[in-house]
Amino acid sequence: MRCAGWSRSSSSACWPARWRSGRPCGSIRPRRSGAEVKARVDAEKATEPRVAILLEGVRKRYGRGDTAVDALKGVDMRVAPGEVVGLIGPSGSGKSTLLKCLGAVIEPTAGRMTLGGELIYDDGWKIPDLRALRRDRIGFVFQAPYLIPFLDVTDNVALLPMLAGRPNSEARDRARELLDALGVSHRAKAQPSELSGGEQQRVAIARALANRPPVILADEPTAPLDSERALGVMKILEQMAGQYRTAIIVVTHDEKIMPTFRRIYQIRDGRTAELSEAERAGLARGA
Ligand SMILES: Nc1ncnc2c1ncn2[C@@H]1O[C@H](COP(=O)(O)OP(=O)(O)OP(=O)(O)O)[C@@H](O)[C@H]1O
């Protein structure tokens, strides 16, 4: 699938001046302890909605008249907070279209979509500010990390919370906590070009989590990686989903990671079906 490059909206003109000047921002505050993080996650768990992503009869028609294409013909899907779900399907089956609808990049034609307990689409958008929805409620992870080359690792992660209006110190604290959780805190001051591919992908995952979105959409996140690294990325996504109660949908063709999913949706000819245990086992064997 083609990636909707994260950097597209990242014109330097709209960034805070302190980044353009290269000066460090925010004060250094002590890291949160593991117990504090756990207490916060437990508190969030107690009040979280039971379904993070609910799609009901989502349809998407491109074009009109004789040339219309019904890419989605009534998609149903349910993902719980903290769950990592696979989405597979042959080329042209509608995977990209589904991610774009869910990511509020394109508008569906009909149906209902609920995200983090909030109805965002019901035969029309229910949210006035789709840009804020994408920035604050949905994290994106792509095949390539798309880190901003002239910001250090911490600023790459802190950027989104700052754009969402968080104070510098809080945004940077959050970045440090995530880099720590992902095992790359020792690279916090490095430039992206100084990182290995695996480290860059971890930073990209930290960035996707930075606004604590209820949902992450991951588009072929392991495609260019060898088996060991691909399984490493999936393990991290699982851990992060559990720790931050984020629902993650992973679009993939990658056979290596099929055994890691407890649930897989298959999209075929614009409709979704959840694979049975036997079908998942068959996929895991490469059958
Ligand atoms: N902008 C568009 N205008 C018209 N038709 C489109 C558009 N985008 C996608 N389609 C069509 O919608 C259908 C689903 O396409 P989509 O890109 O969602 O599939 P996909 O499963 O992501 O495929 P792939 O794995 O090859 O990326 C295809 O028939 C495609 O040709």
In the chain, what is the straight-line distance between the N-terminal and C-terminal CA atoms, in Å?
A: 23
Report which protein residue has its CA nearest ligand 1's atom 24: 91
Asked if the structure places residue 87 within a domain, the reply is yes
pLDDT band at 286 (very low <50, low <70, confident <90, very high): confident
Q: What is the pLDDT of residue 282?
A: 85
CATH of the domain at 180: 3.40.50.300
Model pLDDT for residues 81-119, shown as the tens digit of each residue: 999 999 999 999 999 999 999 999 999 999 999 998 899
Mutate to test the pocket of ligand 1, among 60, 64, 97 (most ligand atoms within 8 A of CB): 97
Mention every residue, 6+ apart, whose C-beta is less than 8 A from residue 267.
75, 87, 88, 89, 93, 94, 95, 98
Looking up tokens 């508008």, which residue turns up?
Answer: 107
Mutate to test the pocket of ligand 1, among 96, 98, 107, 269 (most ligand atoms within 8 A of CB): 96
Asked if the structure places residue 147 within a domain, the reply is yes
Q: Ligand 1: which residues within 6 Å by Cβ?
A: 1, 62-63, 69, 71, 89, 91-97
Asked if the structure places residue 1 within a domain, the reply is no
Is residue 246 within 8 A of residue 48, CB to CB? The reply is no
pLDDT of residue 41 exceeding 50: yes
pLDDT of residue 29 exceeding 70: no
Report which protein residue has its CA nearest ligand 1's atom 27: 1
Report which protein residue has its CA nearest ligand 1's atom 25: 91
Helix (H) or strand (E) holding 179: helix 168-181
Asked if the structure places residue 17 within a domain, the reply is no
| Stretch among 27-31, 96-100, 111-115, 158-162 having the lowest mean pLDDT | 27-31
> In which region does residue 49 sit, left (phi positive, over 0), alpha (psi from -120 to 50) or beta (all else)?
beta
pLDDT band at 44 (very low <50, low <70, confident <90, very high): low
pLDDT of residue 8 exceeding 70: no
Asked if the structure places residue 15 within a domain, the reply is no
For residue 69, the ligand 1 atom closest to its alpha carbon is 5
Asked if the structure places residue 56 within a domain, the reply is yes
Average pLDDT over residues 177-197: 93
- Domain extent, residue 195, equals 32-284
Model pLDDT for residues 194-218, shown as the tens digit of each residue: 999 889 999 999 999 999 999 999 9
Asked if the structure places residue 138 within a domain, the reply is yes
Mutate to test the pocket of ligand 1, among 60, 62, 252, 254 (most ligand atoms within 8 A of CB): 62
Q: Phi then psi for 5, rounded to 5 degrees?
A: -45, 125
Give the chain's domain count: 1
Asked if the structure places residue 3 within a domain, the reply is no
Q: Is 181 exposed, middle or buried (0-12, 13-18, 19+ CB in 10 A)?
A: buried
DSSP string, 215-277: EEEEESTTTTS-HHHHHHHHHHHHHHHHHHT-EEEEE---GGGGGG-SEEEEEETTEEEEPPH
pLDDT of residue 42 exceeding 60: yes
Q: What is the pLDDT of residue 13?
A: 31
Its ipTM equals 0.98
Model pLDDT for residues 250-274, shown as the tens digit of each residue: 999 988 899 999 999 999 989 999 9
Is residue 215 within 8 A of residue 53, CB to CB? The reply is yes
